[in-house]
Amino acid sequence: MHDTLLLFGATGDLSQRYLFPSLVHLWRDRLLPASLRIVAVGRQEHSDEEFRAWLRERMAAEVADDPGIVEELLARIAYVSVDLRDEAAIAAALSAYADRPSVSYLATPPDLFVPCAKGLKAAGLLEGESRLVLEKPIGRDLASARGINAALRACLDESRIFRIDHYLGKAAVQNLLALRFGNTLLEAVWQHRWIESVDIFVGETAGVDGREGYYAGYGALRDMVQNHMLQLLALIAMEPPAALDADSIRDEKRKVLRTLRPVTAADAAERTVRGRYGAGVVEGRAVKGFVHESPVETFVAVETFIDNWRWAGVPFRLVTGKRLAERATEVVVSFRPTSHWLFERPRRGRERPNRLRMRLQPDETIELGLMGSLAAPEWGALELKPMSLDLSMSASPQRRIAYERLIVDALRGNQTLFVRDDEVEAAWQWIDSIENAWSETAQPALDYPAGSWGPAEAERFLPPTNGGTHSNRTGGGQA
């Protein structure tokens, strides 16, 4: 396990909210090497002591019962201030750390990836066994992603590049793989003959708050669908890999991404909805709308198809939005009706299809919707009713931040949960088809009130509920 971590963007939002808390937890649990050293790199001027004081204040709540943990970690952190656009300055400031293999983590905007990588290369920090970790987004479209990937390849080999998609670090996402590939029952039905549709839904109650600058250049399609949602789709739809090693899995994911049916100007209006939240009420609190001159969307719904043998004709609906009624990430697999219907009640067509509902956030649950009988004598004829089989695992002893797992894997050199260059490019290719179709047809972002389920036009894209409508789903704070 490498013991030197250089963290670029150390005073940024991601570092404060997730990366340092993850490091604190990992240190507490003795999952990091005893010889760990962290070099925090940022633009702001700080001495080591000032940076530690700043971080101490922010990390105090992470291990409130044992403040000594934070102190131990802080003692291992040095702070280096440097202009992240200046390759020569980066090289000069960091070359002293090239004495042993390291992991450099770029928690920075994508326009800084190439200068930072070049500076690290010049400092000798990408040689031998050293590794580079990059946050999403890798570029803004296929052309810029290709440019970044090519520039990175000139600095180090793909086998040492770790592109983060933090959804892959979530335990519930790994459970999805376990469920799919560990169960004969699912193996047998996991294809178009038995599956009617797949819904992938990521609803957030949070708004864009504080990230307007970044978000205005990206929007929901590039911020969420290009990465997290397409990774979920790829794991659900890929062929079983021959082994669980990084490249076997990534080969299969890439194949799925490359068979996604592009959206065209002719079908964009039918297959997609864009939305943008206005003022409303979320979780009982009045919130403002997203106001910005950029026309980006904060909500997107897309119906797509995977044009291969396994998934022919099965719609995959992807929906995500900010400031929705409920925070929930779920995957719903709806099965086809049985071949022949024997029952009077409910009548054919009114039965509830079998569904596998995997909820990944905020709680982790797995439910299988079946039909059973109302077996009381007064009912006379056999009548069916929907039943739900709860397949949830017992609560895991400790929930971890997704980044904890990914940081350990990067220090160990395990690429399985990281995204390869060709996957990123295949995902951008499909996203570009949508962006192009939207701009050709000038598809507007439709207003929706914060605290709702998105624009009314997107209702048909929303995942099926357990019988009710979206407006009476649990937790829905309507505007």
Which residue is nearest to ligand BG6, using beta carbons? 223
**Shortest gap between Cβ of 298 and ligand BG6 (angstroms)?**
9
Nearer to ligand BG6, 329 or 354 (CB): 329
Nearer to ligand BG6, 223 or 364 (CB): 223
Nearer to ligand BG6, 174 or 361 (CB): 361
Site string for ligand BG6, 326-345 (x = CB under 6 A): ---x----------------
The order of strands in the sheet holding 365-373 is 384-390, 365-373, 355-361, 328-335, 195-203, 316-321, 299-304, 272-278, 446-449
β-strands 384-390, 365-373 pairing: antiparallel
**Shortest gap between Cβ of 322 and ligand BG6 (angstroms)?**
7
Tell whether residue 223 is a contact of ligand BG6 (CB under 6 A): yes
**Shortest gap between Cβ of 361 and ligand BG6 (angstroms)?**
6
Q: Known catalytic residue: 470? A: no
Q: Compute φ and ψ for 402, nearest 5 degrees.
A: -55, -35
End-to-end CA distance of the chain: 50
Nearer to ligand BG6, 240 or 362 (CB): 362
Q: Point out the catalytic residue in the list 25, 166, 228, 470.
A: 228
d(CA 236, CA 355): 15
Size of residue set near ligand BG6 by CB under 6 A:
5
**Shortest gap between Cβ of 345 and ligand BG6 (angstroms)?**
41
Nearer to ligand BG6, 184 or 398 (CB): 398
**Shortest gap between Cβ of 235 and ligand BG6 (angstroms)?**
15
List residues with catalytic annotation.
Answer: 228
Q: Point out which residues bind ligand BG6 (CB under 6 A).
A: 204, 206, 223, 329, 361
